[in-house]
Structure 1
Amino acid sequence: MPKLHLKRTPQEEADHRARKKRKRESKHARKGSETRTDKSTRKWASSDSDGGDDVYGPHPPQPEAGPSKPFSEEDSDSRYKPDYEAIRAELEEARFREKMAGAFEDDDRLDSLEAQMNEYAHTIFFKMDPRYMDDEEYAEWIRAGMYRKTHAQEYAEEQQKKAARDARRAEEKAAKAETARLAKLAEEERKRKKLEKEIRRADYAREEYHSRWKTLLAAPSDTENPQSLLSFSDIPWPIVSAHRQKPDKKGSSQTAPPPTVSLDDLTVEAITTFLVPLPANGETEKKHRKDKLRETFLRFHPDKFEGRLMNRVRETDQQRVRDAIGVVVRALNALIGEV
């Protein structure tokens, strides 16, 4: 008689499905465990057979149990930061070794050079000593000595000629030295005379400078007569080249017109040399120098010169005169500031 299958109640149907589900999960779990066990067995068997420790090394140690520590840049810097002191020490050591090697090479070269020089010195200083001669040199030395003995007269004459040549050369050398000494003295004398001549010319130019200023200030103003108007060179400028030289015995240069002067001749150096040729040492000289500069400044003051003398200057030369006065005033200001 067949088994009767009664209809399940809803509760029984739910229990039946739950049992089937648990069976499936249990079966699936058993299959997964068997698969993992098989793979693990094959893996370690392959490592043991292939010598994995020799190839890959020992297994890394497992981290200790505990809370994980977050990674920070400080740990990375402290772990991988290069040691600069050690690197610098290695570089200095390498540089020192290189210098020492170069010094050793220099010492070897100097030793070789010294040996060569010593050999040369031996040849020079001991050449006439028979103890240091070879056979050929000794034979030649003996032959020379025998010749001197057998030809004493000829040897003496040769020595006399040699002494005469040496004496003549010494006389020529002494004569050249004496000639050079006399030429030097003559050159120094020429320079001294030239300097004295320049000093005398400068002194006479200063006298002429003051005399021309007195004449210029004392002369009456005649602007209507073109012949009486002053040119640029008629102004007594404070430079040596603007004045006549000392007249000769015939007095030809006394009546000669003043030299031609241009604006380029009025330099600071020329004005300084003319007004203050020597430095002032004492207080008296400084005071005298300051008074002389002040007097010159009053003569060439632009306003005073414009009111006293500019109307007596030719119209074509007035602008050049104004420019020259500006140069003189600037030089005087610089000299007064140095006093």
Structure 2
Amino acid sequence: MPKLHLKRTPQEEADHRTHKKRKRESKHARNSPEASTDKPARKWDSSDSEGDDVYGPHPPQPEAGPSSKPSYAETSDSRYKPDYDAIRAELEEARFREKMAEAFEDDDSLDRREAEMNQYPHVPDRWKTGRSRADYDHAVAADDIFKLDPRYMDEEEYAEWMRAGMYRKTHAQEYAEEQQKKASRAARRAQEKALKAETARLAKIAEDERRRKKLEKEIRRSDYAREEYQLRWRQLENATQSLLSFSDIPWPIVSAHRQKPEKKGSSKADPPPTVSLEDLTVDAIAAFLVPSAPSGPEDKKARKDKLRETILRFHPDKFEGRLLKRVCERDQQNVREAIGIVVRALNTLMEV
């Protein structure tokens, strides 16, 4: 494939001519007789070099003489002679600075380590300052140090043990008074502890008694409500002309019945109980009809019979045919809803 020659711009053409002209002049200068006598041409000189330019100062030229020897600059092509003394001084200075920096680092490391080691120093009690006489007497009077075996003590513990023993002997009266005060404080603390325990025991007994009485009252209330439930159903079935309200229906919950008077022969009549649809829950009906869980086949049979009897009483068809027509019109809708709630709750209890 032939070589492509792209057309140059006028500026590129001018630069190309200038470059060729400089090459010709340089080549002519190297081949001239004057240039050959002045300096021998070097083989590694480029064709576009512009003369013999030398950068930096020239080395001093020695005076010509019959016995003078050619200098280093004359016999070699090197243009710079290094100053070995200055280089050696700089290296020694750098090495000295490096050693000083390492020494400072070692000092800092030792200071940090010493601070860490001295963070938790062990100072004997007798060397500590700011310690009052009362604190020292309390420490000596304590019997904990005498519970230790001297055979297994270190030097410091043995010294403290000896000082405490000597103080006890030389201050026998003070030690006896301190022991008496200590025994008095211990007896007082023991008495307070016993009194506190007795108070807690009596409070627990009173709480248990209160709970027992409350439970007995609830049981009596539930038994009386069941008696009232049966009595009211008999009266309701025998009566034919009375007009009934929602509260006149003997619903199977405790809150739907009157409470037994606290005193016998009391003429004070309790107000009639009020019942709402929210009171007819499965738990309330179960607590009223079957309060205890069955423990055997006979109890299960009695539970089923009780629930079946109640279902027959509140069956919608049977109830509407006998009693719903005697309920006043404003309460008939609520009675229908209550009957449905009771029957659904009884069916749930029958499945348990």
Q: Which of residues 179, 185, 190 in structure 2 aligns to 1:159?
A: 179
Report the CA distance shift for 1:173/1:157 in structure 2 as closer, same or farther (over 3 A). Answer: same
Aligned residues: 208
**Displacement of 1:231 after TM fit?**
1.2
Where structure 1 has 5 or more consecutive residues not aligned to the other structure, the ranges are 1-123, 222-227
**Displacement of 1:151 after TM fit?**
2.0
SS at match of 2:249: coil
Aligned residues: percent identity? 72
TM-score, with structure 1 as normaliser: 0.57
**Which residue identity does 1:251 align to in structure 2?**
S
Q: Which of residues 220, 227, 230 in structure 2 aligns to 1:200?
A: 220
**Displacement of 1:162 after TM fit?**
0.4
**Which residue identity does 2:334 align to in structure 1?**
R
**Which residue identity does 1:234 align to in structure 2?**
D
Match of 1:147 in 2: 167
**Which residue identity does 1:150 align to in structure 2?**
T
**Which residue identity does 2:233 align to in structure 1?**
W
Distance in 2 (CA, whole Å) between partners of 1:202 and 1:131 is: 74
Distance in 2 (CA, whole Å) between partners of 1:140 and 1:234 is: 90
**Displacement of 1:326 after TM fit?**
0.6
- The alignment's C-alpha RMSD in Å is 2.3
Q: Are 1:309 and 2:323 matched, yes or no?
A: yes
Q: Which of residues 256, 266, 270 in structure 2 aligns to 1:251?
A: 266
Match of 1:291 in 2: 305
Superposed counterparts of 1:1-339, under 5 Å: 129=150, 132-135=153-156, 138-221=158-241, 228-248=242-262, 249-252=264-267, 255-338=269-352
Report the CA distance shift for 1:163/1:125 in structure 2 as closer, same or farther (over 3 A). Answer: closer
Distance in 2 (CA, whole Å) between partners of 1:323 and 1:252 is: 36
Kindly indicate whether the alpha-carbon contact (under 8 Å) linking 1:234 and 1:258 is maintained by their aligned counterparts in 2.
Answer: no
Q: Which structure has the highest helix share of the two?
A: 1
Kindly indicate whether the alpha-carbon contact (under 8 Å) linking 1:126 and 1:132 is maintained by their aligned counterparts in 2.
Answer: no
**Displacement of 1:220 after TM fit?**
1.7
Task: Give a deviation string over 1:151-195, Cα, whole Å, max 9, x none.
Answer: 212211211110111121112112212221221121111111111
SS at match of 1:251: coil
**Displacement of 1:125 after TM fit?**
11
**Displacement of 1:256 after TM fit?**
3.5
Kindly indicate whether the alpha-carbon contact (under 8 Å) linking 2:316 and 2:339 is maintained by their aligned counterparts in 1.
Answer: yes
Task: Give a deviation string over 1:212-264, Cα, whole Å, max 9, x none.
Answer: 1111111123xxxxxx42111111000001101112324345x4443001110
